[in-house]
Amino acid sequence: MPELVYPPVITAAKTMFRALDLRLDVRGSHHVPRTGGAVLASNHVSYLDFIFCGYGAHESRRLVRFMAKESVFRHRVSGPLMRGMKHIPVNRAAGAGSYAAAVGALRRGEVVGVFPEATISRSFTVKDLKNGAARMAQEAGVPLLPVALWGTQRLWTKGRPRTLTRRHTPITILVGEPMDPAAYPDATALTADLRTRLSALVDRVQRDYPDQPAGPDDAWWQPAHLGGGAPTPERAVELDRSDRRSRSAS
């Protein structure tokens, strides 16, 4: 099937990058294979992460099919775009169908994008990972690539107002070396090593980032262990639990 939707969306995104003069620093994009299936497993700090994670595969001329929550596909604006780009809807109450669709796409030679933390990390550190990315890489027999994103949270993240017109923001995209799922005894071991590698990549891009908070009021986007104002991982867990309780009560 011809790609009628994805290329124009990429062109629009690149136009946005130029208009906002985003300072994109893409590293390791050569790790994305030019042919065959692969899983990109990214950290998650922003609602816009899928745009920038997908951009990490641009050099290899690959279109990444992201797994995203089903409600996005039902939205009157985003739904047609998501379906047109052949992304994969995830029903968290019945995930077997989504998982099977992702494995099928990988076996057909597609690149599938996953956020194994499942939700945005308020602490801006890597949370515990779900093992779905590892399982599908092992079942399909394709490489698993960790991807670290940083700076995207300054545009739009959980609990903060959107600043989509913010200009000159540095955005780092770092694609790590491929992991061979056959080298691990099971998905649990692969997931544990993925978290170790992803945490190291995220720490690297955070420490290399060219900007620093302009002052105490601007420190919210920096993790606590680097002197920033983001919640600690422990506090972030409490906030997530509070959110779940509020949704259950509503």
Q: Residue range 77-103: average pLDDT? A: 93
Tens digits of residue pLDDT in 35-58: 999 999 999 999 999 999 999 999
pTM as predicted: 0.96
Whether the Cβ atoms of residue 207 and residue 222 lie closer than 8 Å to each other: no
Query: Is residue 250's pLDDT more than 80?
Result: no
Residue 248: pLDDT band with limits 50, 70, 90: confident
Residue 17: pLDDT band with limits 50, 70, 90: very high
Q: Residues, the chain, total?
A: 250
**pLDDT on residue 196:** 98
**pLDDT on residue 93:** 76
Ramachandran sector of residue 249 (left: φ over 0; alpha: ψ -120 to 50; beta: rest) = alpha
Residue 208: pLDDT band with limits 50, 70, 90: very high
**pLDDT on residue 143:** 98
**pLDDT on residue 247:** 86
Tens digits of residue pLDDT in 64-86: 999 999 999 999 999 999 999 99
